[in-house]
Amino acid sequence: MGTVMSVAAPGGTDPELFAVATEAAFARLRHADEIFSPFQQDSPVSQIRDGRLPLAGLGTHPAGAEIRQILAVCASLKSRSGGAFDAWAVGDPPVFDPCGAVKGWAAEQASAVLASRGLTRHSLGAGGDVRVLGGSEEGSWRVGITDPHSPGGILAVAELADGAVATSGTAERGVHIWDPLGGRPASDLVQVTVIGPSLTWADGYATAAMALGTQAYGWLTDLAERTGYQALTVDHETGVWWTPGMAEHVPALRGHATAGAGG
């Protein structure tokens, strides 16, 4: 998936349980990569992209059920974002690329595997995304949010026992998210972080917000009111904006001005 995956657990975790659970989770991630990687010529996604695997043939394909699940996630994200997330219109010329939905979905699946194998308290890192479950020794996991204007620095720390923190931006990979509405790379914002129950949706929402650029503020505010997913953005002038509920997860924001404030 073009990134590093890692797992952490509280210090008292049984080493053998940890090893067995993480191997199963990583196997699940490798399986997802084999299906959805657009960088592997013979992956099902590559075959869909070049017409070798018609969607009508998914019913008999070994990975058909998983592919249909991702297609449903992509369709939902497109609808919820007003077209800002469109897996069928990535790049120029537009091609099918569901990567913006796959990483969060795959990491969410891997977290479920960890829990099913007995690792009910863990943190799964997937590049700029983190899925936590069960709390740490202190009760909440602490997840650093990268400062895109200070390489290696931390902008803020989110605290949550269960849930997901997804960050999309240009700090690590440069401008790489496509704006299908404008037909250009998305570069108006530097970074978007979304926090919510599921990494599948948090990651997709963060990607959509990056594509929306400065239009994301109203969309994220509405999203927070409707779904409870909270967001924090960073612009090119180092201004920081957040939805009102973000302060519930990020202690540094408590007592500061409400959504829309810069810092």
DSSP states along 145-198:
EE-TTSTT-EEEEEEESSEEEEEEESTTT-S--EETTTTEE--S-SEEEEEES-
Q: Give the per-residue pLDDT at 201.
A: 98
Residues 41-85 have pLDDT tens digits of 999 999 999 999 999 999 999 999 999 999 999 999 999 999 999
pLDDT band for position 174 (50/70/90)?
low
Residues 77-106 have pLDDT tens digits of 999 999 999 999 999 999 999 999 999 999
pTM: 0.94
What value does the mean pLDDT take over residues 23-34?
96
- Taking the C-alpha atoms of residue 22 and residue 66, their distance in angstroms, rounded to an integer, is 21
Phi and psi (nearest 5°) for 27?
-65, -40
Residues 145-170 have pLDDT tens digits of 999 999 889 999 999 999 999 999 87
Q: Give the per-residue pLDDT at 57.
A: 93
- Taking the C-alpha atoms of residue 242 and residue 12, their distance in angstroms, rounded to an integer, is 36
pLDDT at 223 over 70: yes
pLDDT band for position 137 (50/70/90)?
confident
- Taking the C-alpha atoms of residue 21 and residue 25, their distance in angstroms, rounded to an integer, is 6
pLDDT at 3 over 90: no
- Taking the C-alpha atoms of residue 37 and residue 142, their distance in angstroms, rounded to an integer, is 30
Q: Give the per-residue pLDDT at 54.
A: 96
pLDDT at 191 over 90: yes
